[in-house]
Structure 1
Amino acid sequence: MKFTYTFGAALVAALLATACGKKEEAAPVAATPAPAAAPAPAKTAVEVLHYWTSGGEAKSAAELKGMLEAKGYEWKDFAVAGGGGENAMTVLKSRAVSGNPPTAAQVKGPAIQEWAKEGMLANIDNVAGPEKWDELLPKVVADVMKADGHYVAAPVNVHRVNWMWANPEVLKKAGVAGMPKTWDEFFVAADKIKKSGNIALAHGGQNWQDFTVFESVVLGVGGAEFYDKALVKLDPAALTSPTMTKAVTTFRKLKGYVDDASSGRDWNMTTAMVIQGKAGFQFMGDWAKGEFTAAGQKPGEGFLCAAAPGTANAYTFNVDSFIMFKLKDEAAQKGQADLASAILSPEFQEVFNQNKGSIPVRLGHDMSKFDDCAKLSAADFVATAKAGGLVPSIAHGMAVSPAAEGAIKDAVSQFWNDDKISVADGVKNIAKAAATK
């Protein structure tokens, strides 16, 4: 070897000089260079596409990032803002079609099965089986996460959609004692609030907000079994029944309690009307709670929460989840398994849902650190899962195909915005839209 040869030649020269009595300095001995440090092994990248971009959501995503980085992975954040996930889905389809899908993507409801039918999703039973997801999750939620009987998605949380929020001071000023439990009671309370000079119902006139209110009305008027037939199974008989006519009539009546500036208003600005004491009630999912708490308010004091009228024994759920794509690299596959395991871990479920306003998807999770609204939600989640009152939210992508959902949403919003459309025609239009494939 070169280094050995150089070292030997220098040493021989020095010895010869000494033996001959020469005063010459010995040639310097060449140092053997230190071996180069081995490069650190590259971290496996876990690329996650999501649309958690608001304050609390981003904070929650950072928790998941930290858990994966602690396991030695490189977290590649692929956040796509806007559109309630619609923008993210557009980007995801582009990536998938080009053959370059991310490790995981935030997708929910029937859209999970649509991706599975394309043969693009990975089977994650290797995580779900040992960790007993079938026991941890309500069957109705577990079924949404599966394709052909195998888990292909990991659920993150549970949002309850059929919430009613209220400002206690506005109710007190109007002489309303407590939260109304039926639609008849709600209209009596709304009349009192309107008479007192406040807006009875805060509502943002956007089609998804119209649809959110509509599904709670259908649930409250018809009950969970009817809701399932009409808005999950899309049964034509249920969609054109007298019960649906009553629900559409009730929905139309609500518009008389909304202010004229409602059109196009964002949901959080609508919640602010309740916070500021300008309006009495709002129907919105539990993400609205984050607005109240951000304003320094506490449940039972600054704001009130209850199930929407007639829905105390039912629960419309909206579950965020992540699908896992088929990947060839074994290290990447392990990254997916660790990501799925982290998502369902008690630690992440606790931190994430406290930030987001939702509740853990794990049955039996310790709720001692959650607020009273979350505790009520968790208790009702378990009770309705046992009693059959737990149903998927059609307004939030959990019940039917995206095509049918979009068509029904448009029909509902058109009815809300056009007083010339009769109740009878409104029912017909919704039933027709439900037939969209």
Structure 2
Amino acid sequence: MSLIPQWQRPDPNRPGGVVCPDERLPWPQTFVLGVQHVIAMFGATVLAPLLMGFDPNVAILMSGIGTLIFFFVVGGQVPSYLGSSFAFIGVVIAATGYAGKGPNGNIGVALGGIVACGLVYVLIGLLVHATNVRHKRSTVIQGLEVDEVEAGVAVHWIERLMPPVVTGSVVAVIGLNLAQVPIKNMAPTAFDTWVQAITFVCVGLVAVYTRGMVQRLLILVGLLIASAIYGVLTNGLGLGKPIDFSGVIAAPWFGLPRFAAPVFDINAILLIAPVAVILVAENLGHIKAVAAMTGRDLDAYMGRAFVGDGLATMVSGAAGGTGVTTYAENIGVMAATKIYSTAIFVVAALIAVVLGFSPKFGALLQAIPLAVMGGVSIVVFGLIAVAGARIWVQNSVDFSDNTNLIVAAVTLILGTGDYTLKLGDFALGGIGTATFGAIALHALLRRGR
């Protein structure tokens, strides 16, 4: 397999304007679409390190490097962006005792756990890849010998542990769990709440009433229109907090982020390393969601995807960044645009690398009004939840089966309600309890069939 695919031009006769992973639009359009994916990942990729006391510029930089690592490991066949994982927040805070203000003074201990988690993830990926060897068997159908390709042992085992009802629930619950971020934290005033509404209406209008490239850039165009409206209302009419470009003007064009080195502490490792299971479920859900949207069987790349994500997490933790995961936010953008070209993610990754070394570009993105980012987040997080439901639909999950019904119902509430289990200093909440709960419930209840 080549490390870089030979991208072809899309088939103009394909219905729906779908662009497949091994295809690409002209480079100028690909670049603009890459910018849109950067916008989609930016809010969460910056928010997660801030909640853990990490340097957001390092997180942005490592998200770009991690995405490139993932791209090369999967040979450019699985469209994905890797950003800061929210699954690490609870365990990192527990391991470091972070109080929530300023830089995390015990960041090295967390980084050691993140590197260890990445290593566990890589080992899982290697095991999956080694046992995911496909083989042929011959079957005689109407007098003709036909070769049928069977999935390897790994695919059967993983799909039995995490069937579509589980992966769909986990993907959906990621969006639902994150819903409280824009609703509760990104609209401090009544004015900001209205701005959020203006923003998601702008995105909706672009999605429905425009055509061509503008429609495909619905997130970016909607954000720009909403920002312009915000500027008129605040900078022009004085109704709210004006857009402040002073940080952009003062920031240097180039500068190093605050790198940090890992410290390997056994207690922190035992707390953080099990997050690998959550990352596996997220990545599996991502692969199933993209496969459903593109109509392609991506099971052959499952082990490679796990290895790529694990290596990216190890590299990120070694440099002072957060653990990373395949980003559901960008799945939402792909679902809306129907463009799955992996070339877009190479562009987005390179932009993120530049941003990581450029305080000025980072300051420009951070100058986007919080309420506008909140409105965009509402759309993107909602698209994530719908992507999970799409997995159910595409795989014909039978909700007349009480096992599927209970697994999905309980998982959605555990994740949305941020259900937290505590044992001493160890705490598992939100996405974590939803993921493990979905897997455990399905394993328990399927025995009763």
TM-score (normalised: structure 1): 0.23
Query: In proportion to residue count, which structure has more strand?
Result: 1
* Structure possessing the higher relative contact order (Cα contacts under 8 Å, 6 or more residues apart): 2
TM-score (normalised: structure 2): 0.22
Greater radius of gyration (CA): 1
Query: In proportion to residue count, which structure has more helix?
Result: 2
